[in-house]
Structure 1
Amino acid sequence: IPMVGFAGRDAAAAVHDPLEATVLAASDGDDQLLIVSLDLLQLTAESVACIRQKISTATGVAPTSIALACSHTHYGPSVNDHDVDLVDSYRTHLSHVLAGVCREAMDRCQPARMGVDWGASDIGINRRELRDSRIVLGQNPSGPVDRSVGIARIDHANGQPIATVLNFACHPVSLGGRMAEISAGFPGKARRVVEEMTGTLSLYLQGACGDVNPIRMEHDHDAARSLGVRLGCEATRIWETIQVQDVHSVAFASKTIHLPGYRYDSQTNAENLQQELLRDIAVREKEGEQNSGPLWWARHRLEHVEAAIVSWQTDEALSAVEC
């Protein structure tokens, strides 16, 4: 199956560790909530709406009370490509599996208490490095980084630990851009560490990772193992000291926001960049590049630049532009 997260990679050649979906179900008797964590890079709004509806049909939970959160692993399958048989089948199967898992989570709800606390981890580093008068993807120790590790501990009313929610912000890219083996990356390892040390099920929620990459990026699974162990141990340290308390109500809010598209300051600037990208692409293709990262990125940028130019000419709004 095609992988997603880096350009220029072949289809997945093997599975190093399994991808998981973890569900937290909560109810106060009146309102219900489902949080679904997925070992995937991302989902489109269309896919989210479809999955929410299938889960809602299976559980009775309103679609607006179902949160889907991707761990953002860069070593999972593509689920957004269309007209690719394996991807279409995977996407369809995924929605059915999630509906069943969520139904099971709702059926297994039990009286519980919860506590929350925070720690810190140094496994992330700002990736915007100034090198030779250019900003590149590298390491910038002085750049902003959110080191917060958030932990929610959920125990049964009788005191038996049930579940742990782990929140941290860092791109799961520790295996580098050439790895063609399916993996949940360091979030998966951190989750397993927490589960082994606490005896609970663990759900990983990716934070606003922005420009934060792991301090180790190597074409080797040991980097993900090491980072995951460090994060998982910090999470467990926090977990051990959390005091749980009764929770009397469940609340969930969902809001869609519309962001203005970036228009490159002027139509002239956009058209100049368009020509620059066209020349760059032509040179790369002439030199025999077919599926390289730089060629993919140039085409990706060109697509959005041309969309911006069209929006000027037709006065149409852009929902999002990424360059």
Structure 2
Amino acid sequence: MRVGYSRSVITPPIGTFMAGYAARTKPSIGVHDELYVRAIYVEDGEEKFISLALDILGVDVELASRISEIISKELPIEREKIMISATHTHAGPDIQGDYSQIRNYLREYIVDACCGAAMAAYNDLREVSVVQGVGSVEGITVNRRNPVKGSVDPRLHVIGFRVGRCPYAAIINFTCHAVVLGHNNLYISADYPGTLNKYVEILTGAKSLFLNGTCGDINPYTPGTDLNRVYDRSVGTFDDMEWMGKILACEAVKTMLLREAEDGRLYIRAKKLRIGVRKPYTLSEAEEMLRRAEEKYKEAQKSGDSKKIIEASYERWLARKTYDTLKIYKDIDAIETWMGAVSFSPSCAMVFLPSEIVVKVGLEIKRRSPFENTVVVAYTNGYFGYIPMLDEYEKGGYETIFPVSIVEKGTGEKLIDEAISLLMHLRSLY
């Protein structure tokens, strides 16, 4: 097996608007830490696989398609074997907003950086052995839909590559929203995934690539977090970001260094998904909702009542997003994208899923998987909102409402079945 690694800076200019929070209306005022695209290219005989991890909120289908199309023309790899993921930082650039000129520039810049990183990784291939294991970090995450009894996933997965006895690169996976920093932060940052990568590299000398899990309802439980206001991340600080990144990095390093190397055998299979889009309103109904929301916001501003202004601002944002979403998907009934599964040994595999998925989906895939170490990666090859399980719709809440979630009901369960089908097939090849 041969592996190559590279990275490229994708930090946007100061003044770029940031993604992730409706309550954040001002542009960035500085850069706290650099954003990167990190690339790992894996080759084993005829099998080839690329993982790209971008320090941004999400990679939409159009962006992922453009990147994979270019890479597949430049390198000897099929486009469906290129997995393009986001770390889901909420302190990165808004590349899907209405700031057309700067948005288009940033998207082109990101495309070039991703393709360059992939090609550089390919040109730095070296013979490796595989080390893999599962650690655990409890007490630093919380289920924001049910802070007291809700499920979390404390497992930290590591797939490392050694050249001789020296660590060369590592893929690290943990399940938590990259929202240590809240809407009040105006500094560009990779959030805790960037800190994790930094300390893994300092401690081991290896290159680190972080991939987020099905963390749609999982938030950081940092010092200062109020469980009565668990969605409020304005309490987060850069010190908290360092705290969380160091904890995760130490567990990753321990897990990687304590494992014995094995001769890996790579297999990869991909499948094209067709995910239905639900449309609970007509475009004219959404237009009327937006008109009423705009009027309510103007009245709230006149009143000077800060509480009313915040509530009206959120309603206006929701109405605007509803209208914009229905306009985009007016003639589209389904989203098409690729999912994939990769195995490195009879006991270790990864599955890559699109968009923003609740933790129960990942937990169920791991429970049913034939691989002892199953890494479930979200935010890959498409970003189109939340994907809850069926029972979550009955409970309501932010992650289930349209247009925050636009997929047809049952999509979460469908992804579980598709993932298990791919994993079962991979396991049968050993």
TM-score when scaled to structure 2? 0.64
Question: How many percent identity over aligned positions?
Answer: 25
Aligned residue for 1:74?
A: 90
Aligned residue for 1:236?
A: 253
Give distance in 1, aligned partners of 2:169 and 2:188.
26
Structure 1: state its 5+ residue gaps.
130-139
From the superposition, tell whether residues 276 and 149 of structure 1 become closer, same or farther in structure 2 (CA, over 3 Å): same
Of 174, 177, 180, which aligns to 1:171? 177
- How far did residue 255 of structure 1 move? 2.0
Of 175, 183, 187, which aligns to 1:181? 187
Give distance in 1, aligned partners of 2:195 and 2:185.
17
Contact 1:116 1:151 in 2 (8 A): yes
Aligned residue for 1:125?
A: 142
**Structure 2 SS opposite 1:300:** helix
Give distance in 1, aligned partners of 2:254 and 2:95.
35
From the superposition, tell whether residues 33 and 82 of structure 1 become closer, same or farther in structure 2 (CA, over 3 Å): farther
Aligned residue for 1:251?
A: 267
Give distance in 2, aligned partners of 1:21 and 1:272.
40
1:27 paired with 2:46, answer no
- How far did residue 104 of structure 1 move? 1.2
Give distance in 2, aligned partners of 1:237 and 1:180.
34
Aligned residue for 2:32?
A: 16
Contact 1:9 1:178 in 2 (8 A): no
User: Counterparts in 2 of 1:137-152, with a 5 A limit?
Assistant: 140-152=147-159
Aligned residue for 2:19?
A: 4
- How far did residue 245 of structure 1 move? 0.6
After TM superposition, the structure 1 stretch with the greater mean CA deviation from structure 2, 45-54 or 115-124, is 115-124
Query: Which amino acid in 2 is paired with 1:284?
Result: Y
User: Counterparts in 2 of 1:1-323, with a 5 A limit?
Assistant: 1-7=16-22, 8-81=24-97, 84-122=100-138, 123-129=140-146, 140-156=147-163, 158-216=164-222, 217=233, 218-248=235-265, 250-262=266-278, 264=280, 279-288=292-301, 292-304=313-325, 317=333, 319=335, 322-323=403-404
Query: Which amino acid in 2 is paired with 1:141?
Result: V
Aligned residue for 2:354?
A: none
Give distance in 1, aligned partners of 2:320 and 2:108.
29
Give distance in 2, aligned partners of 1:110 and 1:199.
16
Give distance in 1, aligned partners of 2:250 and 2:237.
21
From the superposition, tell whether residues 296 and 182 of structure 1 become closer, same or farther in structure 2 (CA, over 3 Å): same
Query: Which amino acid in 2 is paired with 1:152?
Result: I
From the superposition, tell whether residues 92 and 107 of structure 1 become closer, same or farther in structure 2 (CA, over 3 Å): same
* 1:5-43 deviation per Cα after TM superposition (whole angstroms, max 9, x unaligned): 111331111000000111111111322211111101112
From the superposition, tell whether residues 83 and 77 of structure 1 become closer, same or farther in structure 2 (CA, over 3 Å): closer
* 1:136-160 deviation per Cα after TM superposition (whole angstroms, max 9, x unaligned): xxxx13111111110111101x222
From the superposition, tell whether residues 179 and 83 of structure 1 become closer, same or farther in structure 2 (CA, over 3 Å): closer
From the superposition, tell whether residues 271 and 100 of structure 1 become closer, same or farther in structure 2 (CA, over 3 Å): closer
Contact 1:2 1:87 in 2 (8 A): no
Structure 2: state its 5+ residue gaps.
1-15, 223-232, 302-308, 336-383, 385-401, 405-430
- How far did residue 71 of structure 1 move? 0.2
Query: Which amino acid in 2 is paired with 1:236?
Result: V
From the superposition, tell whether residues 255 and 198 of structure 1 become closer, same or farther in structure 2 (CA, over 3 Å): same
Query: Which amino acid in 2 is paired with 1:220?
Result: T
Query: Which amino acid in 2 is paired with 1:298?
Result: A
**Structure 2 SS opposite 1:287:** helix
**Structure 1 SS opposite 2:27:** coil
RMSD between aligned residues? 2.7
**Structure 1 SS opposite 2:277:** coil
**Structure 1 SS opposite 2:273:** coil
**Structure 2 SS opposite 1:33:** strand
TM-score when scaled to structure 1? 0.84
Contact 1:178 1:219 in 2 (8 A): no
Give distance in 2, aligned partners of 1:85 and 1:224.
32
Give distance in 2, aligned partners of 1:118 and 1:87.
38
* 1:25-62 deviation per Cα after TM superposition (whole angstroms, max 9, x unaligned): 11113222111111011121111111112222332322
Contact 2:143 2:150 in 1 (8 A): yes
Q: Point out which structure has higher relative CO (alpha carbons under 8 A, 6+ apart).
A: 1
Contact 1:43 1:79 in 2 (8 A): no
Give distance in 2, aligned partners of 1:145 and 1:241.
25
Aligned residue for 2:339?
A: none
